[in-house]
Amino acid sequence: MPHLRSLRVLLALALAGLLLTARAATFEGNALSGFSREGAERQRALEARFDALLKRENLREWMKRLSARPHHVGSPYGKENAEFMAGLFRSWGYEVEIERFDVLFPTPKTRVLELLGPEKFTAQLAEPPIEGDATSNQSAEQLPIYNAYSVDGDVTGELVYVNYGVPKDYEELERRGIDVKGKIVIARYGGSWRGIKPKVAAEHGALGCIIYSDPRNDGYFRGDVYPKGAWRNEQGAQRGSVADMPLFPGDPLTPGVGATKDAKRLDRKAAPTLTKIPVLPISYADALPLLRALGGAVAPDAWRGALPVTYHLGPGPARVRLKLEFDWKLAPAFDVIARLRGGERPDQWVIRGNHHDAWVNGASDPISGMVALLEEARAVGELAKTGWRPKRTIIYAAWDAEEPGLLGSTEWVETHAAELSRHAVLYVNTDSNGRGFLSMGGSHTLEGFINEVARDVTDPQKKIPVRERARSYTVLNGDAEERREARERADLRLDALGSGSDFTPFLQHLGVATLNLGFGGEDNGGSYHSIYDSFDHYTRFGDPNFDYGIALAKVCGRTILRFAEADTLPLSFDGFADTLGHYVREVTRLADETRAEIAEKNRRIGDKTFEAVADPTEPFVAPKPEAPAPHLNFAPLQNALARLQESARLYHAALGGPQWQESARTRERQKSLDEVLKGVEQTMTRGEGLPRRPWFKHQIYAPGFYTGYGVKTLPGVREAIEQHDWKEADEQIVVVANTLARLAAEIDRATAIVSGGAK
Amino acid sequence: MPHLRSLRVLLALALAGLLLTARAATFEGNALSGFSREGAERQRALEARFDALLKRENLREWMKRLSARPHHVGSPYGKENAEFMAGLFRSWGYEVEIERFDVLFPTPKTRVLELLGPEKFTAQLAEPPIEGDATSNQSAEQLPIYNAYSVDGDVTGELVYVNYGVPKDYEELERRGIDVKGKIVIARYGGSWRGIKPKVAAEHGALGCIIYSDPRNDGYFRGDVYPKGAWRNEQGAQRGSVADMPLFPGDPLTPGVGATKDAKRLDRKAAPTLTKIPVLPISYADALPLLRALGGAVAPDAWRGALPVTYHLGPGPARVRLKLEFDWKLAPAFDVIARLRGGERPDQWVIRGNHHDAWVNGASDPISGMVALLEEARAVGELAKTGWRPKRTIIYAAWDAEEPGLLGSTEWVETHAAELSRHAVLYVNTDSNGRGFLSMGGSHTLEGFINEVARDVTDPQKKIPVRERARSYTVLNGDAEERREARERADLRLDALGSGSDFTPFLQHLGVATLNLGFGGEDNGGSYHSIYDSFDHYTRFGDPNFDYGIALAKVCGRTILRFAEADTLPLSFDGFADTLGHYVREVTRLADETRAEIAEKNRRIGDKTFEAVADPTEPFVAPKPEAPAPHLNFAPLQNALARLQESARLYHAALGGPQWQESARTRERQKSLDEVLKGVEQTMTRGEGLPRRPWFKHQIYAPGFYTGYGVKTLPGVREAIEQHDWKEADEQIVVVANTLARLAAEIDRATAIVSGGAK
C-alpha cells in the first residue's frame, strides 16, 4: 500500500505541531471519545437518567432468587434461572432467545481417596452444612467436590508432593532425584490455573493427581474461617474444571464449532482436552493425613504451606488409592440472549455478558456480576421505553456452563462466528464482583475509552472517581516504575487478558475488542467454588449493601451506552502502541535473561559449583548442560513496532487536525471510519492461530500454555522463548511483526479517512 | 605529618608500575603473608606436623565429658569443667590460671504465665525429658526456661502480638491504631537479637514481654522436630540473655571495669542494661492458646507464623498475667587462661578463645567449638614439647559466662585492658561449630591473611579448599553482584562483626584485630539454648564424626601458628580499603533512600493516597508528615576514604618494592613495622566511643542499637541516618572521616618503614 506510506510522510510533516494539542484535548476536562461536544452533553444527560434508575434492592432480591438453589449446567434450577432471566429481559422490552447447546458435562458416580499406609485414612470429600448459612444444607442438589473433565480411573501408588505442580516444580524435584513416574502427585491450589496441574503431572508420568487447598493460600493463614470469617474452613474444597483450556475452551467434543444438536462430535476417547489421568480436589482436612504420612526430603522453603506438619516430598511411604468414575452425559446449556436493536447502525453489535451457572449456589461467582448486569439491562430497557434508541445494537447475554470451561459463551461464539466477525464491535464481560477497587482488563485499544468511563464513576465508599482509587492503589502497592507511571500517565494501563471467564472466545478466538471489568480486593475470602459461596456469605463479606454492584452497573452501563451511541467507535492507538512497546521490550529482555540463565547454569556445571555446595547427606542430581541460547533477531518486531507507533501517532494527530473538525465529520465519513475501526482487533488475529493451538488466533494475548488463566502477551514469541525453542521464536517474531504491519496499515487507513485522504 | 604526604607523592610515582606485580604475587601460588620464602616453607612443615597430631576421638570424648551435666555460670559442673580444662592445658605445657570474676547472675524463683480470659490456660514452661537423649532428664541441675536480666514483675494486661517486636513492627501497629501502652506484648523469636524485643516494648509503654519460638522460624515448618529430626519440638524453648548489650556487654553492675572481688558495683536498681519490664521466653505449645485467644485485626501477611491459627494482633480479648521473681545473686565466673610464652617477641600476644559455659548441657553451644580449641591447643603444646617455640606469645582462653552476656571475656578484657592494648595483636574467636561451610568474620585488615588460611585447609566432605566451598556457596546463593565478586575477586570478603560472642570486647571495646570463625549450614536444627542441645543431638545432627571440628582446629591452628610465627604481622589494607568503600557507598545510598522515602511518604500524605486506599471497615491511622531530610555533606568521608585507599595502595606497592626485598628485611625493620601494624586496629577506635554508648569505641563495626547481634558498619553515621538524626549524622561523618585520616597516617608510617623512608 504505497499510497499510505507517502501519505504518512505528509501527515508527519503537516501534523507534528498539532500532536501535543490533540493529546491534551483528549484528557482535558470531561471529553468523551467518539462524541462531538454536543453529543457528549446529550450522552451525559442520558447517563444521569440511567444512574437514577439503578436500585440496589433489585440486586439483593435477584441474588437471593438466583442463588437460592444449586444451579450448575444441566441442573433443574439452572434452567429455571435462565427462564426467569429471559422473562425479566422480555419484560424490559428486549427481544429474547434462549439458545440451547448440548455439551459434555461429566458428574461423579464414584469418588474414593484412601491412604493405604503407613496409616489408613479415607478422605471425607464433603463440605458440611453450617448453621447461619441457609443454603449449605441442600445436599441433594449440590454437585459433590470434584474436578470436571477428569478421566475415570482407579490408580494406586506412592504419593509425591509437587508444590503447585507447575513445570519448574518438577525441575526442582528432578534436582533432588525424585521422579513421579508411576506415582500419585498431590499439588496445592495456586501458582497456576488448576488444569495445568494434572496436565504437567501426566506429562511427567504420574498416575493420578490430587489437588488440595492449603490454608497458607486459602484458609486460616489468610484470615478467620467460615462461618466466623470469610475464609475457607478445613472441610471446604474447590471444585473446578481441569479440561486443557489453553488448547481450546468450550465443549470438549466440538472444538471450533457450536455444540448444537446436530453438531459432529468427537469420540470422547479422542477428546484432547480431557485430562490424561484422574484428578480430585480435596479439603485441607482431607489433605493433612496424606501430607503427614509423607517421608523423604523436606520440601523447599517456598513449597511449605500452613498445615502444622513438616512438609516432605516423598515419594511415599504414604501410599494412596484414587478411584473416580463419572457419568459422561451430555447436558443442555441455556444461554439467554437479549437484544435491543440499534437505530442508525443496527449491524454493529455491542455485546455484554456474564455467566449464570455456578458450581453450587454461586452467590459471588457468578451471581454478583449477573445481578449488576441485570440491573444495568433493566435501566437501559427503561430508557428505551421512553423513546430513546441506541445507534448500535445492544446484546445482553447470560451464559450457561462457564464453570466447566466457558462452554455457553464459546459454543455461542463458535455457532455465530461468521455474523459476530462482521457485526461485533465490543464485548464487555463481568463475573464475580465485590467491594474494593476497579480492575480493568482488555484490548489495549480501549484503554483511553475505559479510562474516561472510570473517570466518570464515583467510588461509593470514598466519593472519588473509581479510577483515582485504583490509581492510588497502584501508587501504594506498585513498584517504583508502576508508581511513577500511575502518577504521571493520564490513563491507567489495562491488564492484558489471559483466560478464566467468558471473554476468551470473543477476544482470542474471534478478535472482538473486549473488556473484562469488576470490583474487588476488599471482598477477600475463601468461598470460591464451594457450597459456602452463598447469599449469606456474600452479604456478610462480599458487598453487603451492593454498593459495588451498583458501581459496576454504572461502569458497564456507561461502557455500553457510550459504545452504542458514539459517532465513531472510541478506539485509540497511542496507549496501545505504548503498551505494545512494553511487551516487545519484555520479550527481548526475556530472551536476554534466558540466554544468561542458560550460560550461568552451564558455567556452574562446568565449574562443579553444584557438587561443591551439595550436602552429601542429601540426594543430589547435577543438572545437565544445555545448548547455549542464540541471539534472536528481534529487528522485524522492533521495526514493525516502530511503524505501528508512528501510525498511532499520526492517527491521533489527524483526529486533532483540520479535516476532522466537528463540522467536517459527516455521517458518511464517520461510518467509513467505523467500518475500518471495527476490523482493527481482528487484524491482530491470524487464521492459523498459535503454534499447536489453532483455536487461539489472537497474536497479542493468550492464556499461557503452562499457566492457564495467566496471560502471555505476544504469546507465539514469548512461549517459544520460555520453551527454549529458538527456531520457533525466530519464526514467531516474523509472524507477529507481520501482524503488527497489517495493523499499522489498518490504522493508516483510518488516518486516511480522518485526514480526508483517499478511500 | 607533612613528611608523610610528600613521601606518598614520591611513592606514587616510583611504585605505580610495581603495583600489579605486587598484588599478583600475594595471591600467587602458596605465598604466606608476613613470611619470607624460606620462612613459609618452615611454616608449612610445622603446619603439617600440627595437622598430623589432631585426633577426632579427643573431640568426641571431651564433648561427652564437658556436656555430661548442665554447666551454666555458677553451676558446680561449670566449675568442674573449668578445672578439668585447666588441668588439660597444664598437662600440655601451658602456664595456666583460672581467673575468677563475681558477676550478677539472676536465676528464677517464680515463673507464672497465665491466660486469664476468654479461656483459662497456664503455661507449662518446661521441656520434657526425651528417650534417647541421655542428659535431657537432669532436671535438678537444668536452668529453667527464662531470660536472664529480666527484671522482677507481676503484671496483668491485654495481649498484643507484635511480630518480631522491632521498631518497624510498632510503626505498623501504629498505622492500625494499636498502642501497646499498658498491655503485655507477645513477640516471636527472630528478626533481631532477643534483647531488643523487651527494650523496644518498654520504649512503647508495654508492661511485660513474652517471647516465643514460632514453628515457622524454629520448629516443624523448618524440618522434623526432635527427637525424630533436629528441629525444636513444641515444648522446646529458647533461653537467653535480654540485657541491653548494645549499650555494653558484660556484668551489668561493672560497666567498663573488671568484676573483680573489690570492684565498685552499681546498685542493681541503677544498672542500665537490665530490662525495664519482665520478660519470659516460652515454647510454641505454650504460645498457641495465647495466640488463639487474640482478637482484633488479622496480622499482616509477613507477621504470620506456622501455628494452625489465624494470627490476630489484639489487643485482647486475651488477658494474661506474667509474674517473675529472680534470685539476684552474684555468681563466680571462671575463665581459664593458658599461656605459651613467645621466644622472639613475647610481648606480642596472639589470643584464641571460646566460651565454656552453656545454658544447659550445651553440646553444640559452646562445646563443639571448645573441643576444637582444646585439640588445637593440645597439638600446639605437643609441638612446643619438641623444642619449637613461637615467636609471639600464644594465649588460649576458655571463657565462662558468655551466655548471659559475654561476661567472662568482657570482664577479663576490662581487667586487663591496659596490657591488652599494648600487647594483643590478634583475637580469634570460635563458638558453636558444625557440618557445612566456613564462615569468616572479622577485621577487614585480616582479609588477605585468613583467605590464605582458608585456601590451605581442605573440606573434609568435598576434598577441595574450604575457601572454594564457601566461594561456591556464594556463587549459588548470592545475588548477581555477590556472585560476580565471588568469581572475580581472589579473596572472599570477611563478614563485619556485630556481636553475639566473645569477640566483642576485644574488637569493639579495645580495638584488637579480631577473627570469628566457624563451620555450619549443614548442621541445621533447633536445639539452641534448650535442654536438647546435647551430646546425643549433636552427634546425630551437628557433626557426627567431628570432621568439621577437626577442620576448625586446622583453620584456627594455622591462624594462630602463622600469626605467632610471621616475620611481620600479616595485615593488609587493600581489601580493607575496598570494603570500606562499600560501606561509604552504603551510607550515602542509605541517606539518599531515606530522603526519598520521607519525600514519598509526605507526598502520599499530601495526595491523600492512604485515605483513598484504606478499607473503611478496618481501623486506619493516617501517618504524620515528617520534615524533609536534608542532603548530608559526605565529602569529608569521601575525601578521607580516597586518602585511605591511596595509602593502602602505596603500602602494598612498597611491600613489592626494592626496599623490602628479603635481603633488606632486617629484624629491626620487621620489628618496627610490627610496632606500627599492631596499633592499626586501635586507630579505628575513639576514646569517647559511639554516641550514647561510650563502651563501644570502634568506629567501623558495632552491634546495632536496635538489632543487637546484627552489625552496623560505620555505626555512628549509619545509625544517625536510620534514626533520622541529620545533625548527628553530619557530625559523625566528620568523626569517622577523622578516624580514617588517622588510619591513613598510620598506614603511611608503615609504608615509610617498608620503603626504607624515615621513622
pLDDT tens digits, one per residue of B431-452? 999 999 999 999 999 999 999 9
**Nine-digit cell string for B460:** 573434609
Whether residue B308 and residue A309 make contact (CB cut-off 8 A), yes or no, is no
The architecture of the domain spanning B39-104+331-565 is: 3-Layer(aba) Sandwich (3.40)
d(CA A391, CA A341): 9
Per-residue confidence band for A29, with pLDDT thresholds at 50, 70 and 90: low
Instruction: Say how many CA atoms lie within 13 Å of A399 toward its Cβ.
Output: 31
The nearest alpha carbon in chain A to B313 belongs to A223
**Nine-digit cell string for B107:** 536465676
Candidates B546, B430, B438; CA nearest to A612 is: B438
Question: Is B606 an 8 Å CB contact of chain A?
Answer: no
Q: What is the mean pLDDT of chain B?
A: 94
Per-residue pLDDT of B555-612, as tens digits, reads 999 999 999 999 999 999 999 999 999 999 999 999 999 999 999 999 999 999 999 9
Candidates A239, A437, A469, A201; CA nearest to A357 is: A239
Buried b (16+ CB within 10 A) or exposed e, B662-676: eeebeeebbebbbeb
- pTM higher than 0.80: yes
Question: Is the distance from CB of A438 to CB of A555 less than 8 angstroms?
Answer: yes
Instruction: Say how many CA atoms lie within 13 Å of A462 toward its Cβ.
Output: 24
Whether residue A613 and residue B469 make contact (CB cut-off 8 A), yes or no, is yes
Per-residue pLDDT of B510-545, as tens digits, reads 999 999 999 999 998 999 999 999 999 999 999 999
- Return the pLDDT at A397: 98
Task: List all residues 6 or more positions away from B3 whose beta carbon is below 8 Å from its beta carbon.
Answer: B758
Per-residue pLDDT of A95-145, as tens digits, reads 999 999 999 999 999 999 999 999 999 999 999 999 999 999 999 999 999
Question: Is A330 an 8 Å CB contact of chain B?
Answer: no
Per-residue confidence band for A4, with pLDDT thresholds at 50, 70 and 90: very low
- Return the pLDDT at A3: 42
The nearest alpha carbon in chain B to A219 belongs to B310
| Strand B184-188 with B208-212, pairing | parallel
Instruction: Give me the residues paired with residue B392 across strands.
Output: B345
**Nine-digit cell string for B93:** 605445657
Question: Is the distance from CB of A506 to CB of A514 less than 8 angstroms?
Answer: yes
For B686-693, the CB contacts below 8 A with 24+ separation are B686/B735, B686/B739, B690/B715, B690/B716, B690/B719, B691/B716, B691/B719, B691/B720, B691/B728, B691/B732, B693/B246, B693/B247, B693/B248
The architecture of the domain spanning B2-30+573-754 is: Up-down Bundle (1.20)
Q: How many Å lie between the alpha carbon of B186 and the closest alpha carbon of chain A?
A: 18
Instruction: Give me the residues paired with residue A394 across strands.
Output: A340, A350
CA A749 to chain centre: 31
Task: List all residues 6 or more positions away from A513 whose beta carbon is below 8 Å from its beta carbon.
Answer: A425, A426, A427, A442, A443, A445, A446, A507, A571, A680, A681
Average pLDDT over residues A459-485: 96
Question: Is the distance from CB of A504 to CB of A516 less than 8 angstroms?
Answer: no
- Return the pLDDT at B498: 95
- Return the pLDDT at A709: 82
Residue for grid cell 501408588: A157
Q: How far apart, in Å, are the Cα atoms of A158 and each of A117, A155, A186, A505, A580?
A: 9, 10, 10, 40, 47
- Burial class from Cβ neighbours inside 10 Å (0-12, 13-18, 19+) for residue B269 reads exposed
Q: Over 50: is that where the pLDDT of A273 sits?
A: yes
Q: Over 80: is that where the pLDDT of A17 sits?
A: no
Q: Tell me which DSSP letter residue B250 carries.
A: S
Q: What is the mean pLDDT of chain A?
A: 94
Question: Is A682 an 8 Å CB contact of chain B?
Answer: no
- Return the pLDDT at B11: 41
Whether residue B612 and residue A522 make contact (CB cut-off 8 A), yes or no, is no
Helix (H) or strand (E) holding B649: helix B635-655
Tell me which amino acid residue A380 is: V
Q: Tell me which DSSP letter residue A146 carries.
A: -
Helix (H) or strand (E) holding B212: strand B208-212
Helix (H) or strand (E) holding A158: strand A153-161
Whether residue A604 and residue B225 make contact (CB cut-off 8 A), yes or no, is no
d(CA B554, CA B108): 41
Query: Which comes out higher in pLDDT, residue B276 or B663?
Result: B276
Q: How many Å lie between the alpha carbon of A592 and the closest alpha carbon of chain B?
A: 15
Q: Over 50: is that where the pLDDT of B19 sits?
A: no
Q: Where are the domains of chain B?
A: 2-30+573-754, 39-104+331-565, 107-328
Buried b (16+ CB within 10 A) or exposed e, B228-256: ebbbbbbbbbbbbbbbbbbbbbbbbbbbe
Q: How far apart, in Å, are the Cα atoms of A64 and each of A61, A361, A362, A363, A730?
A: 5, 10, 11, 8, 54
Average pLDDT over residues B676-689: 97
Q: Over 60: is that where the pLDDT of A18 sits?
A: no
d(CA A472, CA A483): 9
d(CA A631, CA A628): 10
Q: Over 90: is that where the pLDDT of A24 sits?
A: no
The nearest alpha carbon in chain B to A294 belongs to B224
How large is the greatest C-alpha to C-alpha distance in chain B, in angstroms?
Answer: 83
d(CA A215, CA A222): 7
Chain A residues closer than 8 Å to B476 by CB: 604, 609-610, 613
Residue A528: CB atoms within 10 A of its CB come to 20
Peptide bond between residue B366 and the one before it cis (omega within 30 degrees of 0): yes
- Return the pLDDT at A536: 98
Per-residue pLDDT of B284-326, as tens digits, reads 999 999 999 999 999 999 999 999 999 999 999 999 999 999 9
Per-residue confidence band for A565, with pLDDT thresholds at 50, 70 and 90: very high
Who among B224, B310, B462 is closest to A310 (CB)?
B224
State residue A148 phi and psi, 5-degree precision.
-70, 140
Question: Is the distance from CB of A263 to CB of A274 less than 8 angstroms?
Answer: no
Per-residue confidence band for B757, with pLDDT thresholds at 50, 70 and 90: low
**Nine-digit cell string for B20:** 600489579
Question: Is the distance from CB of B509 to CB of B723 less than 8 angstroms?
Answer: no
d(CA B190, CA B122): 24
- Return the pLDDT at A11: 41
Strand locations in B12-55 (E): none
Tell me which amino acid residue B293 is: A
Collapse the DSSP code of B526 into the 3-class scheme (helix H, G, I; strand E, B; otherwise coil) and give the result. coil
Per-residue pLDDT of A229-245, as tens digits, reads 999 999 999 999 999 99
State residue A253 phi and psi, 5-degree precision.
-95, -10
Per-residue pLDDT of B239-289, as tens digits, reads 999 999 999 999 999 999 999 999 999 999 999 999 999 999 999 999 999
Peptide bond between residue A465 and the one before it cis (omega within 30 degrees of 0): no
Q: Confirm or reject CATH 3.40.630.10 for domain A42-104+331-453+499-565, answering yes or no.
A: yes
Chain A residues closer than 8 Å to B615 by CB: 522
- Return the pLDDT at B137: 97
d(CA B206, CA B156): 11
Q: How many Å lie between the alpha carbon of B298 and the closest alpha carbon of chain A?
A: 6
Per-residue confidence band for B29, with pLDDT thresholds at 50, 70 and 90: low
Collapse the DSSP code of A339 into the 3-class scheme (helix H, G, I; strand E, B; otherwise coil) and give the result. strand
Whether residue A609 and residue B298 make contact (CB cut-off 8 A), yes or no, is no
Q: How far apart, in Å, are the Cα atoms of A319 and each of A160, A164, B448?
A: 9, 20, 55
Q: Which of A216, A220, A221, A225 to mutate to test the interface with B (most CBs of B within 10 A)?
A: A221
DSSP helix, strand, coil percent of chain A (3-state; round to 5)? 45, 15, 40
Question: Is the distance from CB of A63 to CB of A368 less than 8 angstroms?
Answer: yes
Residue B2: CB atoms within 10 A of its CB come to 6
Q: How many Å lie between the alpha carbon of B522 and the closest alpha carbon of chain A?
A: 7
Question: Is A298 an 8 Å CB contact of chain B?
Answer: yes
Candidates A218, A224, A216; CA nearest to A236 is: A218
Domain B107-328 CATH (choose: 3.20.20.100, 3.50.30.30, 3.40.1360.10, 3.40.640.10):
3.50.30.30
Helix (H) or strand (E) holding B374: helix B369-385
Per-residue confidence band for A59, with pLDDT thresholds at 50, 70 and 90: very high
- Return the pLDDT at B20: 35
**Nine-digit cell string for A403:** 464453570
Per-residue pLDDT of B336-346, as tens digits, reads 999 999 999 99
Percent of chain A at pLDDT above 90? 93
State residue B240 phi and psi, 5-degree precision.
160, 160
Average pLDDT over residues A613-630: 93
- Return the pLDDT at A439: 97
Who among B469, B522, B609 is closest to A612 (CB)?
B469
Whether residue A462 and residue B617 make contact (CB cut-off 8 A), yes or no, is no
Average pLDDT over residues B212-228: 97
**Nine-digit cell string for B4:** 608523610
Collapse the DSSP code of B234 into the 3-class scheme (helix H, G, I; strand E, B; otherwise coil) and give the result. coil
Per-residue confidence band for B470, with pLDDT thresholds at 50, 70 and 90: very high
Per-residue pLDDT of B472-485, as tens digits, reads 999 999 999 999 99
Per-residue pLDDT of B146-163, as tens digits, reads 999 999 999 999 999 999
Instruction: Give me the residues paired with residue B225 across strands.
Output: B231
d(CA A505, CA A324): 31
